[in-house]
Amino acid sequence: MAQVAVFLAPGFEEIEALTVVDYLRRANVNVITVSVPAADSKEELESITGSHKITVIADTKLSEFIEKMEGNEPDAIYLPGGMPGASNLAANQYLFQLITKMDRGGKLVAAMCASPAVVLARTGILSSRKWTCYPGMNNNLAEYCGSVDWAKEVMENSKHIEDVPFVLDNNVLTGRGPGTAEQFAMKFVELLAGAETAVHIHDGSCQR
């Protein structure tokens, strides 16, 4: 059974996070939700409040996840968007290292809305790849990466794609925003559980 870690920091986008968790679990994917502390705090909480004041209880805290998974990374990781959720994820050094390690190993790295620009860009994994994000955030990469020069280096030969629900380039899946969460989630299901399972869930959930 495939295993996915979903990282939730204060201010995460609820639709993007929970739609993906729900559909992956319908596909019998082993999903672990992991609470990540805010950038200005070391306090780890089981309960994480999203950008629209919806509070969820994560399966585990980041420190517990690190201890349990060291040397045995999941098959995929997912970083939902939302602000300041994406900024909180981007400030976490462990996640920076995990993202690059997953990519080097050819494992699936998924991010949506703000997170492709705010979190993934600075790691360099979008270089020479096609990707998408929340409209307009692709214009602020110098801010998210820390400088114009660094943004140019880590995003060299990348291509932002507009007006699409998601983009899959090799092992990196990026999504546009909350209104495309269902389409993004179903692509995630297809990648981890197969096309037959994706069709079964699509039809059973009355998707158009």
Quick check: 174 and 133 in contact, CB under 8 A? yes
Residuewise pLDDT in 10s, the chain (208 residues): 899 999 999 999 999 999 999 999 999 999 999 999 999 888 889 999 999 999 999 999 999 999 988 778 999 999 999 999 999 999 999 999 999 999 999 999 999 999 999 999 999 999 999 999 999 999 999 999 999 999 999 999 999 999 999 999 999 999 999 999 999 999 999 999 999 999 999 999 999 8
Domains and CATH numbers, the chain: 3-204 (3.40.50.880)
Neighbours of 122 (CB within 10 A): 20
The yes-or-no answer on residue 206 being catalytic is no
User: Is this structure's pTM higher than 0.85?
Assistant: yes
Name the helix (H) or strand (E) containing 86: helix 85-90
Q: Which is catalytic among the residues 113, 133, 145, 206? A: 113
Helices marked H in 105-166 — which ranges?
115, 141-145, 148-154
